[in-house]
Copies of this chain bind each other. A is one copy, B any other.
């Protein structure tokens, strides 16, 4: 034993591993270690360097290597992963999905029951609400994404609307609360991962109880045997390892809707819930990389730039690139969306002025008129940070 038991402390309180740096459960919704008082809001850090706890998350959650932007559909194993607790072990032979609450006919469905129902498929781009968080200052202490928390898979499953019709949702139904089998603690609160989704969204025909990913049974890390899939919304809505869908008459007040995944400037604000994905473009970094810095090296010649862009607010209508820190922007060609919620390819030709160091930027605009900001908009949880990507490039002869 490392320390005497302290009977006045319950084990449901989260403790940071480094005495002296740990603090009370924090405000970000996820983080639990605060920066020294006075330098940054509780639950955030003003330090540029990454903390050991953030590294612990970064080594277990997976980002999309940016060269994988080349694939229309992200190969299994390259899609981003954000796993709040542990990937649960699920026995598909005994697993059931319970559809309960304000319904006329509660359902208890086996995997075979779900597989026997009509299946719908679509490529869907999912992005973590925390994508871009690591660029904020001060920075919420949570998974420190730079910009790689995205992926596009082909998802197949049963339309949730079909299941809700089958169960007969009551006239006063307001939300569907999805509960996962994954369990853990956040800010001292023991919980299964659980989210409420407004009924109008749950009834969209493209919202799925997904059983397959890229043509195969869901991998464990993507929610085997079944997950919710809410196209256009940040990934937090697409609850994995589904155990129960409860129809409720009142909005859900659980942790992941009311504490986490809200846009706030300060702890005392109720904040606005995260819903649809903010517009973003990413560039496949051109040329070849340095192993450690990831700086790119390209020859002094016309350079084809390629990437993807997406938004939960409608199609992307424009992508632009800049090689002079946003002083001038050059339009890129943007492909139409291959499906309503799948990322769009874009490309542009860049003519370097000559040898030297550059920083390539790209930004997208969507059908709602929203354009990516140059600097991230700050909020306590570090969400929806859709500022422009910056790709350092050195142009010159390659030895």
Binding site for B on A (CB under 8 A): 1-7, 10-12, 14-17, 30-33, 47-60, 62-68, 70-71, 75-79, 81, 83-87, 89, 134, 141-142, 144-146, 148, 183-186, 190, 219-222, 285, 288-295, 297, 323-325, 353-359, 392, 394-399
> Taking A48-B52, A63-B59, A399-B10 as contacts, is the C-beta distance between A15 and B146 under 8 angstroms?
no
Are the C-beta atoms of A291 and B84 separated by less than 8 Å? yes
Set of chain B residues within 8 Å of A358, measured between Cβ atoms: 1-2
Q: Given A15-B295, A289-B185, does the pair A55, B134 have CB atoms closer than 8 Å?
A: yes
Closest to A291 in B: B186
Is B75 a contact of A356 with CB atoms below 8 Å? no
Nearest CB of chain B from residue A392's CB, rounded to whole Å: 6
Given contacts A190-B399, A291-B184, is CB(A297)–CB(B359) below 8 Å?
no
With CB as the reference atom, state the residue of chain B lying closest to A50.
Answer: B50
CA distance A2 to B77 in the complex (A): 35
Cα-based distance from A323 to B3 in the complex (angstroms) = 11
Q: Which residue of chain B has its CB nearest to the CB of A59?
A: B63
Q: Which of B87, B89, B220, B323 contacts A1 (CB 8 A)?
A: B323
- Cα–Cα, bound, A228→B395 (Å): 33
Closest to A63 in B: B59
Which of B54, B76, B295 has a CB less than 8 Å from the CB of A77?
A: B76
Q: Do the beta carbons of B67 and A87 come within 8 Å of each other?
A: yes
| A356 neighbours in B (Cβ, 8 Å) | 1, 3-6
Q: Which residues of B sit under 8 angstroms from A292, Cβ to Cβ?
A: 14, 30-33, 53, 57, 141-142, 186
A148 to B56 Cα, complex, angstroms: 10
Q: Is the CB of A14 within 8 A of B84?
A: no
Which of A1, A14, A324, A354 has its CB near the most chain B CB atoms (within 10 A)?
A: A1
| Pairwise interchain contact B290-A11, C-beta atoms closer than 8 A | no
A65 and B49 in contact (CB under 8 A), knowing A148-B59, A395-B11, A399-B190? no
The one of B7, B66, B291, B294 that contacts A30, using a Cβ cutoff of 8 Å: B291
**Nearest B-chain residue to A66, judged by Cβ:** B60
Q: Which residues of B contact A59 (CB under 8 A)?
A: 58, 63, 134, 144-146, 148
The answer to whether A15 and B65 touch across the interface, beta carbons within 8 angstroms, is no
Residues of B within 8 A of A10 (CB): 396-397, 399
Chain B residues near A81: list those with CB within 8 A.
77
In the complex, residue of chain B having the shortest beta-carbon distance to the beta carbon of A147: B59
A66 to B221, CA, bound (A): 12
Top 10 A-B pairs ranked by shortest CB distance? A5-B356, A49-B49, A11-B396, A77-B77, A50-B50, A11-B394, A59-B63, A58-B58, A67-B86, A32-B292
Contact B148 A1 (CB under 8 A): no
A219 touches B76 (CB 8 A): yes
Q: Within 8 Å CB of A2, what residues of B?
A: 325, 357-359, 392
Pick from B12, B67, B222, B297: contact of A399, CB under 8 Å: B12
Distance from A351 Cβ to chain B, minimum over Cβ atoms (Å)? 12
In the assembled complex, which residues on chain B have CB atoms less than 8 Å from the CB atom of A65?
60, 83, 86-87, 221
Contact B77 A219 (CB under 8 A): yes
Q: What are 25 A-B pairs at a CB distance below 8 A?
A: A5-B356, A11-B355, A11-B395, A15-B293, A31-B292, A32-B291, A49-B50, A49-B51, A53-B294, A55-B134, A57-B292, A58-B58, A58-B59, A59-B63, A59-B134, A59-B148, A65-B86, A77-B219, A77-B221, A84-B291, A85-B291, A86-B289, A141-B292, A186-B292, A190-B288
